[in-house]
Structure 1
Amino acid sequence: MALRCIIWTFRTKPLYRTIGTDSEEPTSPKSYSIGQVAADALELTNNARGIGWNWSKGLYIPEETRPTHSRIAFILSTIPYYLFATIIFDSCHFAVQSFSPSTFGSGVGGTIFDSTLPPLQMYLRSTAITLLSGFTVCYNIQSLYYGFTIISLTLPLGQTPEQWPPIFGAKPWSATSLSEFWSRKWHQLFRDLFVSVGYNPASYLFGHAAGVAAAFFVSTLLHVTGLWGMGRGGEFLCTAAFFMSNAFGIILERLWTRVTGRRVEGVWGNVWTLAWLLMSAQPLVDAWARTGMIGTLFFSERLRPVNLISRAVLGYNVWS
């Protein structure tokens, strides 16, 4: 909200709703009821991507595969996505917690680097934890998003299916460059914040590379603040190591294209992207683990999806 207030303060044109991507700015003033003003304020405060508003220009929206002609059909087609994302999210979360249930698998916290293991085994273990943590975050966000999609379209809030397109690009792990991963595959919920507060002013003053670095620095601050809320420190250096290294990786990709005339893409681009993400994310995941964030409880023991499935198949809970 603080970043949005900064963005709105320095806007030179008013914010207005749009029907399509080619909508023109209203040329004549309109009168609004108090209810409409309140609805617009609520929408502006909570609409992360700006879908349906003029400030979402340049936003990448993944292709929609669900039927949008009918609200009921859209809701019914979203339910399987919600259930699938929730089960995968909880299964990956369970797998991560199972590596050490008494330390980072709980609220106690602990490092993902087991110093009692030989170096190769220690880093293979931490890499596996990092990979599973990435899937956990990805499907957790999708589960929440699909859940809010169903609620928002079921309640009389005036929402339409077009306002709830997919939040992630298809198969984020298939990205063939860091640029593609962060701009098209990963969610774009905070894009406007990073671009408006970070990239735009820095690139205007110092060029594209500085803009990229500034955008990822704003992302660092946002994620540090969230981690600081755990009450065990913000882990600034670990968080910055991940986001700023990805800014550096994107700058390297641009430099590669300039020098060779070829874009980072294809199979080797995918290998490069996954390797960079897995290496750079380990300090961040370790920070999550040490602050107890990985031990977060999203469900009660009785209602946890992995327990519901294990009780149906095995007759007992696999996690308690």
Structure 2
Amino acid sequence: MAFFSYLPTIPPPPRPDLKTLPGTTSLTPLAALAPPLIYYLALLLLPPFPSHSYQRAFAILRNTLAAASGFLFFRLPLAYHVPFSVGLTYQLALVGLYGGCRVLDAFFISPYLFGHIPRRVKYHHAPRTARPGPRRGASAESYFSLHFLKPGGEAVIETATTDEGWPHGWLDRMSWALELELSMRGAGFTWTSADVRHTRHTWRPSVRDRTHSILVHVLPVLLVSWAIILDIYTLRISHGETFDDLPYILQAVLTASLGAFLMSAFSLGHSGFAIMLAPLKPHPLSYFPPLYTARVWELKSVRGFWSYGWHRLFSRLFLVYGVWPGEWLERKLTGRKPGEEADVGKVLGGFVSSAFVHSFAAHTVMGGWNGAFGEAWFFAGNGLAVVIEEGVKTVVLRHRRKSKKQGKKEIGEEGGNSKGMERWYDGIVGRVWWICVLLYTGRNFARGWVIAGLVREMAGL
């Protein structure tokens, strides 16, 4: 019987270092399942019905269900916590906030302000034989970038077709609703086209490719970064040193290790779910678009990192609640007409919304807002860095163009780049710049995670 004393407790015991919000209780299965289930019921009624006889009644019922679901999503992190995990409590806040914002967007903002209801999208892959040359932005091999996949699967040209009509029958409607509810990772809908970036010339990896990726690339990166986190925590932080007591070099190493751990963990989860759902092919739920679309060593700017080097799973939230309001505010302040460019508002709006989302999650594991603004400073700093680097690019390119007396046609549209005007040192300067910005501002993120106990939990302690 002594053997059973070594078995882990189910559920695990509460973590003493978890700082919960006052008034919250342990998460229950009913509280966790109710918001997505009610959301699903509301989604069943979102597409129009062929008959107009009961449209008004269905609309009232749908909006009532949606409002209840949104309320329960927002309530999740304010009323509950996961007692045995700091990380899961943090994620509970992200799920609650993202889910509530998604419901508001799907049922009220998009339909009533923009007259938009998402339609089903089906992906088609035609074999291709020629390997296209390098391209700017998301390259032809971008599918394999930070999933650490080596092109070895089937080379394809991808096209997406949107359904012209709405679901027919309740079975089709149930499938439609399920795809939309799971669309955060990019399955099936134009609704989430902003969540991912990929090229039509891509690769379709096999289960063998993904398994090789996990075993040979992802797990080693995950284990090495975890070992560094564990080493720094046990040798320094566990003995009473705060994050700011660490030498700057150790602060940078810990920050970089946390970033590498998260990147590889996301890639592991993405590839793992892709393997699990591969038998559903050709159903859209079996299709996993790229999570990252550029290799780290290919990035040359802060904007490039956030556009291609990081996942875009929250892209829709930042677009609706950050980018659009930011653009509107800039046009209002500058007197620009609707439709005119508002890049500063666009960038800052997106980063400010991201700052709030992550700081909100941090405050649920820090017992309140005190000390929870590290994530806010991190994202605000990166937004400011993007604005600065774009301004510097514009000035430098204008100077180069003037000195060479070249016309405007040589100026590229994306990020102020100019064809034929690059210098050999541009890539070096760009890489040093974005790495320094991420590491310096990322210290705010790492400091907050140390204080909240997230780093200790990531170290397995």
Counterpart of 1:184 in structure 2 is 308
Bigger strand fraction: 2
Larger-gyration structure (1/2):
2
Partner residue, 1:33 = 169
Residues 205 and 192 (structure 1), Cα distance of their counterparts in 2 relative to 1, 3 Å cut? same
Deviation of residue 190 (structure 1)?
A: 1.1
1:305 maps to: none
Cα distance between partner residues in 1 of 2:450 and 2:273: 28
- TM alignment of 1:238-317, pairs within 5 A: 238-261=374-397, 263=416, 266-296=427-457
Correspondence list, 1:50-69, <5 A: 50-57=186-193, 59-61=196-198, 67=204
- For 2:109, the equivalent position in structure 1 comes to 10
Against the structure 1 CA distance between its residues 145 and 190, is the aligned structure 2 distance closer, same or farther, given a 3 Å change threshold?
Answer: same
How many residues end up aligned between the 2 structures? Answer: 284
The one of 269, 279, 292 aligned to 1:168: 292
Conserved? CA contact 2:197–2:290, under 8 Å: no
Identity %: 21
The reply to whether residue 217 of structure 1 matches residue 352 of structure 2 is yes
Greater relative contact order, per chain length (Cα 8 Å cut-off, separation 6+):
1
Aligned to 1:314: none
Over aligned residue pairs, what C-alpha RMSD do you find? 2.9
1:127 is aligned, of 248, 252, 256, to 252
Work out whether residues 359 and 372 of structure 2, in 8 Å CA contact, stay in contact via their aligned partners in 1: yes
Match of 1:90 in 2: 223
Aligned partners of 1:239, 1:24: CA distance in 2, in Å?
A: 38
8 Å contact from structure 2 (residues 358, 376) kept in 1: no
Q: Which runs of 5+ in 2 are unaligned?
A: 1-98, 124-158, 331-341, 399-415, 418-425
1:94–1:152 CA distance, 2 compared to 1 (3 A): same
- Return closer, same or farther for 1:268/1:78 CA change in 2, 3 Å cut-off: same
TM-score by length of 1: 0.78
Tell me: CA distance 1:190–1:64, structure 2 relative to 1, closer, same or farther (3 Å): farther
> Is the contact made by 2:302 and 2:385 (CA closer than 8 Å) also made in structure 1?
yes
For 2:344 and 2:189, the matched residues in 1 are separated by 29
**Structure 1 gap segments, 5+ residues each:** 69-73, 116-121, 300-319
Match of 1:114 among 239, 245, 249: 245
Aligned residue type for 1:113: D
Distance 1:298 1:274, change over 3 A: closer
Q: Which amino acid aligns with 1:220?
A: A
Mapped to 2, the partners of 1:23 and 1:109 lie a distance apart of 58
8 Å Cα contact 1:109-1:293 kept in structure 2: no
Distance in 2 (alpha carbons) for counterparts of 1:3 and 1:296: 29
Contact 1:198 1:217 in 2 (8 A): yes
- Relative to the length of structure 2, the TM-score reads 0.55
* SS of corresponding position for 2:277: helix
